[in-house]
Amino acid sequence: MNIKLIKEGTISSKKNLTVEFISSKDLKSHKDVELLQKAGFKAEQDTNCFLYGKNNLFCGVEKVSVDNVRSSCSVAIKNIKSTNYKSASFSVNSKNIKAVIEGVVLGGYEYNNYKSSDKKTALKNIYLECEKVEALSKAFEEAIIISEATCFTRDIVNQTPEDLNPPSFAKLAKKLAKDNGLECEVLGEKALRKEKMESMLAVGRASRHDSKLIHLTYKPANAKKIISLVGKGLTYDSGGLSLKPATSMVTMKMDKAGACATLGMIKAVSELKLDVEVHVFIGAVENMIGGNAYKPDDVLVTRSGTTVEVRNTDAEGRLVLADVLDYAQDKVKADYLFDFATLTGACMVALGQYTTGVMGHSSKIKHDISRSATKAGELTGSLPFNEHLRKLLKSSIADISNTASKPYGGAVTAGLFLDKFIKDENKNRWIHFDIAGSAYTESPWDCNVYGGTGAGVRMISEFIKSLEVRV
């Protein structure tokens, strides 16, 4: 499906479907109100009405806002793809162009790689009509790049664990590096052992696939800031010896979503050619069971020298991130250090399945992230660190336990565990993003369809763009 930005009035309306957004208030005075009322159309949010005789599709919006237009557009594109129209056009301006593009690209996304036959659609072209093409060309190009990077992320999340394992993840990263002019370094198990990353190695010990640490770098000529993005890359999580229930293991291919998101972020930034240096660090591991699996009661020595008592092998992501975060801090002196992980079901209990949990010490960065997320159309919620909860991670035989002694505040205690591995000089540069709820969905919402959502890509792309403005 091609998307083109064109001057209004340049396309024939005879075979093209014209899409119009309309609220219930505007419906009353619309020239086609009688026909629309006969069809039972009330212009409620996310409702559609075709007037085939006029080649028109009307999309209801509660009020004309960016979020409503994006959501309504996502519904519309699905309906258009089920018709025999070969093209459709949307009227855009500086306020809604990004929302329309996201609605079309993200709402119309399909992952059919494992289907035996491709799903056919007649729709070939989407035209975005505007008064002045030149005035909107930059916004158009940026929205396309970020939306496609989000779809790229979704594709990786949706791949099965048999196809996307730590070694093939490393190959994917190398290909992205080649395509986008990035630097790429991959550490195998021999190098990881040399780096004393025994916590990460323990998690992947029972897998037939070697664990990998992936480091991608985007380095523009005149970088104004440096940002390190760390991703949890559990290509599959069985829970280890603390085995998950069968129903909980379904969808565990999404446990790599944090790592996938960081790839989408560096892809977007490199194609936008932003003047911000970006480093991506991924711990690609598979948590399986076997005679050599790490066990509850083990004590692991992390790269930083901190010892961890294992009380639950299903709290494995934090063990991987402990080593990767320590490595990332030693390798790069960054202005910002962000990690992304499908870390806890507790985050969904706290914030619901649509919202990313944000934790850290810097109120300013959390505020800036919230502003970028709102502008990007993503939902975030701040979860405050609590020193009383930190006590729940105390271990009698090691420096820290990998799970809390009480089942309360699980998202926060997981964040506090990671905080143990953030150096003092980086405390106010670090933010932890728990995307356990927002990274994957089995029920479509907004511009998200079944499967990976690409959570974080739009938000962080917006944040990094803002760094250029603030410098």
DSSP state of 160: -
**Residue 330 token pair:** 């030693």
Measured at the CA of 162, the angle between CA 156 and CA 163, to 5 degrees, comes to: 45
Number of H helices, E strands in the chain: 16, 19
**In 3-state terms, what secondary structure has residue 311?**
coil
DSSP state of 425: G
Q: Give me the phi and psi of 382, to 5 degrees please.
A: -85, 130
| C-beta of residue 180 within 8 angstroms of C-beta of residue 271 | yes
Active-site option among 225, 244, 371, 375: 244
Rounded-to-integer distance, Cα 456 and Cα 443, Å: 19
DSSP state of 448: B
Respond yes or no: is residue 318 known to be catalytic. Answer: yes
Please name the residues in contact with 424: beta carbons below 8 A apart, sequence gap of 6 or more.
none
Which stretches does DSSP call E strand in 123-260? Answer: 125-130, 183-187, 212-218, 225-237
In whole angstroms, how far apart are CA 411 and each of 122, 286, 345? 45, 22, 8
Respond yes or no: is residue 303 known to be catalytic. Answer: no
**In 3-state terms, what secondary structure has residue 232?**
strand
Active-site option among 98, 205, 256, 318: 318
Tell me which H or E stretch contains 337: strand 336-341
DSSP state of 400: E
Measured at the CA of 71, the angle between CA 68 and CA 75, to 5 degrees, comes to: 135
The terminus-to-terminus CA distance of the chain in angstroms comes to 38
Rounded-to-integer distance, Cα 260 and Cα 155, Å: 9
**In 3-state terms, what secondary structure has residue 246?**
helix
The position carrying tokens 């992205």 is 176
| C-beta of residue 440 within 8 angstroms of C-beta of residue 234 | no
Active site residues: 244, 318
